[in-house]
A and B are shown apart, each in its own frame.
Chain A
Amino acid sequence: MSAAIELRGVHKRFGELQALCGIDLDIRQGEFFGLLGPNGAGKTTLISILAGLVRADRGSARVMGHDVRADYRAARRSLGVVPQELVFDPFFSVRETLRIQSGYFGIRDNRAWIDEVMRHLDLTAKADVNMRALSGGMKRRVLVAQALVHKPPVIVLDEPTAGVDVELRQALWQFIRRLNREGHTIVLTTHYLEEAEALCGRIAMLKQGRVVALDSTANLLKRVHHLFLRLRLVGELPEELRPLEHGGTAGAHVLRLRGYDDVEQTLATIRRAGCRIEEMELMQPDLEDVFVDVMQRS
């Protein structure tokens, strides 16, 4: 079985900027895959190469086994892309937009699927409204619907929830999870790392055009051994604990500990200093900690 996405030695330069420097990546069919990285890491360039919007200088990219240049028709039929920018065609209504997008893929009568996609994305009531009259969140839903009109086996979402309200975010993830369960491969880029942690089975982290981490989400989370202790104290934090401080919110201190053994020592220090603990919480590292750790080390 071919990989859903296969990238081999992909390089891309824009003038002085080396956007991608030799990306090798395989995403298996049926995966829910996260592509993370800071701004300018090369995520959107990588997606654009898969979509045929940008041409790699070197290397090859395949979608469901189809080369994006040599076999572009099959590659593009296999791929649905939700772009990051909130773009729309102001001449048409939602239904016209989706009908036209289906036609570009050679699908003549797609009414049943268009109705289903609109229902899942809560767009039915807006079907005959002009795109110009929609709110930002609604326009984002139409972009998702447009990427799905041709039922692509691979769906790429480039920061689909940027600036989107909670309701749409939940509805969107519910629908995308369902598509993933039905066998669609999902590739997601997002700055909301808690979303990636909750949804993605495997994650690649990009920095300056290179893959700096690639593993299952569970393994990535295991990479960080420390944990966090959040404390609200009556009195000042003892001086010897200051070096462990890792931020804090609203009168609470967050201490970064090397492991469970450090918890006991920390509490003892607080006791010795005569402080009283008002509130305490032990927190496991999350993907954000892994992300910060990976970006600092690489």
Chain B
Amino acid sequence: MSGLPTLLYKEVLRFSKVSTQTIGAPVLTAALFLFILSHVMGGRVRMYDAVPYAAFLVPGLVMMSVLQNAFANSSSSLIQSKITGNIIFVLLPPLSYVEFFAAYVLAAVVRGMVVGTAVLLVTLPFVDMSFRYPLWVVAFAIAGSSVLGALGMLAGIWAEKIDQVAAFQNFLIMPLTFLSGVFYSVHSLPDFWQGLSHFNPFFYMIDGFRYGFFGVSDVDPLWSFAVVAVFLGLVSGLTLALLKSGYKLRY
């Protein structure tokens, strides 16, 4: 029998034991974003010509929460284990580096999906939402949280201190998320910024995810999914290579 299910279970149990911080807090943040932004912008802006701003905002906020929490889960678990030294408990057993990777990424996906669902449920009563293509919604949520789960692993493996993980989150993950169209359609940006957005893989995650709700998007969802899949392959490949080499884990 493999140790993968247990490592996945342990990672899920870990974040559920502190659910106020890992689920409650991001839901509150997303709800505040919705209430404030929709109040300020709501009467003035309609997206894709027909969608009210608050409804447009909800999928962006949900996906932002999914991505940020998937990243937080794997990165914080690894860095905490490294700092406290209890990483030894998962290095001593006969777990392969692929199982190790799969367990942390799957746990990140679970955390992302739980937080995303909670944000959606909390915000739904305040907006009139449509769910045109739910399979796209699920597909982009899983692919996006997998990418961020793997990125979180990269950060957790590379970092030696908690502030290095925080720097990774604040200077890379946050800007890429905020500049990906969570709060706006990239078509409302000047040409230069619109062009630049297309180099941001997070943009495709959010745009494709939003397509699942409204059936309209800035980019063809198939193309978006292909970009996200390639990015997932690259990040996973790099993480697996580091795990295989034992980088900063096995000296």
Contact = CB atoms under 8 A, between A and B. Distances in A.
Contacts of A76: 92-94
Contacts of B248: none
A54 B3 contact: no
B122 to A, nearest CB: 26
B86 A53 contact: no
B187 interface: no
Contacts of A87: 84-86, 88-89
B106 to A, nearest CB: 15
A85 interface: yes
A93 to B, nearest CB: 10
A48 B18 CA distance: 33
Interface of B: 1-3, 5-7, 9-10, 13-14, 17-18, 81, 84-86, 88-96, 246, 250-251
Contact of A52 (B2, B9, B81, B91): B91
A281 interface: no
Interface size class of A (residues with CB under 8 A): 20 to 34
Nearest to A48: B251
A72 B251 contact: no
A244 interface: no
Contacts of B246: 55
A77 B94 contact: yes
Given A87-B88, A92-B10, A104-B6, 8 more contacts: A48-B251, A55-B246, A88-B84, A89-B89, A90-B84, A92-B13, A104-B95, A106-B94
15 contacts: A48-B251, A51-B92, A52-B92, A53-B88, A54-B251, A55-B246, A77-B94, A83-B85, A85-B85, A89-B89, A100-B9, A100-B89, A103-B10, A105-B94, A106-B2
B40 to A, nearest CB: 40
B13 to A, nearest CB: 7
B94 A55 contact: no
Nearest to A88: B86
A107 interface: yes
A100 B6 contact: yes
B18 to A, nearest CB: 8
A89 B86 contact: yes
B88 A101 contact: no
Contacts of A52: 91-92, 250
A146 B94 contact: no
Interface string A55-76: 1000000000000000011101
Contacts of A196: none
B13 A91 contact: yes
B91 to A, nearest CB: 6
A108 B5 CA distance: 10
A36 interface: no
A58 B160 CA distance: 27
A105 B93 contact: yes
B86 A73 contact: no
Contact of A83 (B2, B13, B14, B88): B88
A244 B126 CA distance: 92
B98 to A, nearest CB: 12
A53 B250 contact: yes
Contacts of A51: 91-92
Contact of A146 (B1, B89, B95): B89
A53 B91 contact: yes
Contacts of B251: 14, 48, 53-55
A81 interface: yes
A104 B7 contact: yes
A167 B230 CA distance: 59
A105 B3 CA distance: 6
A293 to B, nearest CB: 33
Interface string A142-175: 0000100010000000000000000000000000
A106 B250 contact: no
A108 to B, nearest CB: 6
Q: Please name the 8 residue pairs, one residue from A and one from B, whose CB atoms are nearest each other, closest first.
A: A103-B6, A106-B1, A104-B93, A73-B94, A87-B85, A104-B3, A76-B94, A89-B86
Contacts of B94: 72-74, 76-77, 104-106
A107 B18 CA distance: 27
Contact of A53 (B3, B7, B81, B92): B92
A227 B220 CA distance: 89
A256 to B, nearest CB: 43
B89 A101 contact: yes
Contacts of A91: 13-14, 17-18
Contacts of A101: 89, 93
Nearest to B14: A91
Interface in A97-135: 100-108
A43 to B, nearest CB: 16
Contacts of A54: 250-251
* B1, B5, B93: most-surrounded residue (chain A CB, <10 A): B93
A89 B83 CA distance: 11
Contacts of B13: 91-92, 96
